[in-house]
């Protein structure tokens, strides 16, 4: 393991890096209407969602949200998304699945300010806050959703305990993320010991690879246009462009991408 990899493995350092990276990314990308910061999802044959014209450019990213969210029914539910990024998933899910309320929470205040300006949707609100200390009352939410963000958290088991705390009895946690092979055991132990019951889980490796390939040209152009050259390699990893470390690790099964549905007893 290199010095930088060892440094990045320290929880406090990792969280500090994300605190700097995401506001920087928001400032660099906001003029390009980048509404999704997650990888993507495509089945074979294609998912074939019916989308509005304005949503079509983000089809592959929307399909990842659709896969994760529709493991449970949303109509009339109170929903929290932890780490909502630029709010594209929050906006689409609120419009498409019609929850009673949807709160998008993110640590990045620059991102939250962007979301509040960009996404004017009835029932949708945004709030700055920490995934490790959710600013919600015990047993106050029906659904918590978390898409491709927990690998950034310094205390993943603590995050799972927070999710369980804020869910109502019978409420659901729908979740997707990735880990590299040296983190598989730690990830599995955290999930197995969480105060939540696993309803279902599956590998979505093939679908995410297809989604990365679908978005590759658009992502490459954005990186070259909006990021300084010394950050292009990091940007390609962040976007999962074919040839990047993340894409090749997922292709070689050295990285696992999975989705889950949990329920609180």
pLDDT (tens digit per residue) in 178-214 = 999 999 999 999 999 999 999 999 999 999 999 999 9
Which secondary-structure segment (H or E) carries 59? helix 59-69
How many other C-beta atoms can be found within 10 angstroms of the C-beta atom of residue 73? 12
Is residue 138 a part of any domain in this protein? yes
Is residue 83 a part of any domain in this protein? yes
Is residue 223 a part of any domain in this protein? yes
Is residue 159 a part of any domain in this protein? yes
Is residue 220 a part of any domain in this protein? yes
Is residue 1 a part of any domain in this protein? no
Q: What span, in angstroms and rounded, lies between the C-alpha atoms of 70 and 142?
A: 14
Q: Is the peptide bond before 240 cis (omega within 30 degrees of 0)?
A: no
User: Shortest CA distance to 38 belongs to which of 146, 184, 144?
Assistant: 146
Q: What is the CATH number of the domain that holds 111?
A: 3.40.50.150
User: Shortest CA distance to 217 belongs to which of 236, 199, 234, 201?
Assistant: 236
Is residue 11 a part of any domain in this protein? no
Is residue 5 a part of any domain in this protein? no
Q: Quote the distance between the C-alpha of residue 144 and its chain's center.
A: 12
Number of domains in the chain: 1
| pLDDT tens-digit readout, 106-157 | 999 989 999 999 999 999 999 999 999 999 999 999 999 999 999 989 999 9
- Residue 3 pLDDT exceeds 50: no
| pLDDT tens-digit readout, 44-92 | 999 999 999 999 999 999 999 999 999 999 999 999 999 999 999 999 9
User: Shortest CA distance to 141 belongs to which of 68, 82, 93, 182?
Assistant: 82
What percentage of the chain exceeds 90 in pLDDT? Answer: 77
Domain of residue 257 covers 19-263
| pLDDT at residue 228 in the model | 83
- Residue 14 pLDDT exceeds 80: no
Q: What span, in angstroms and rounded, lies between the C-alpha atoms of 265 and 251?
A: 36
């Amino acid at each position: 393991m290199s010095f930088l990899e060892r440094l990045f493995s320290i929880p406090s350092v990792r969280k500090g890096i994300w605190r700097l990276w995401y506001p920087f990314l928001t400032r660099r990308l906001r003029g390009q209407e980048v509404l999704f910061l997650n990888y993507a999802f495509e089945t074979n044959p294609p998912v074939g969602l019916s989308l509005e014209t304005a949503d079509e450019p983000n089809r592959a990213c929307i399909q990842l949200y659709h896969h994760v969210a529709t493991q449970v029914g949303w109509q009339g539910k109170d929903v929290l998304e932890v780490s909502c990024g630029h709010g594209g998933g929050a906006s689409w899910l609120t419009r498409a699945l019609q929850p009673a309320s949807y709160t998008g929470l993110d640590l990045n205040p620059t991102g939250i300010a962007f979301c509040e300006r960009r996404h004017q949707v009835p029932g949708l609100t945004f709030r700055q806050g920490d995934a490790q200390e959710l600013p919600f009352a015990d047993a106050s939410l029906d659904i918590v959703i978390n898409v491709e963000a927990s690998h950034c958290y310094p205390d993943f088991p603590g995050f799972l305990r927070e999710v369980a705390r804020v869910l109502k009895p019978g409420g659901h946690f729908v979740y997707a993320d990735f880990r590299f092979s040296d983190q598989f055991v730690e990830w599995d132990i955290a999930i197995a010991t969480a105060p939540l019951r696993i309803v279902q889980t599956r590998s979505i490796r093939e679908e995410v690879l297809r989604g990365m390939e679908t978005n590759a040209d658009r992502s490459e152009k954005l990186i070259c246009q909006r990021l300084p050259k010394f950050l292009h390699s990091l940007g390609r990893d962040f976007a999962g462009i074919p040839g990047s470390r993340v894409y090749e690790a997922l292709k070689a099964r050295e990285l696992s991408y999975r989705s889950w549905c949990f329920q609180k007893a």
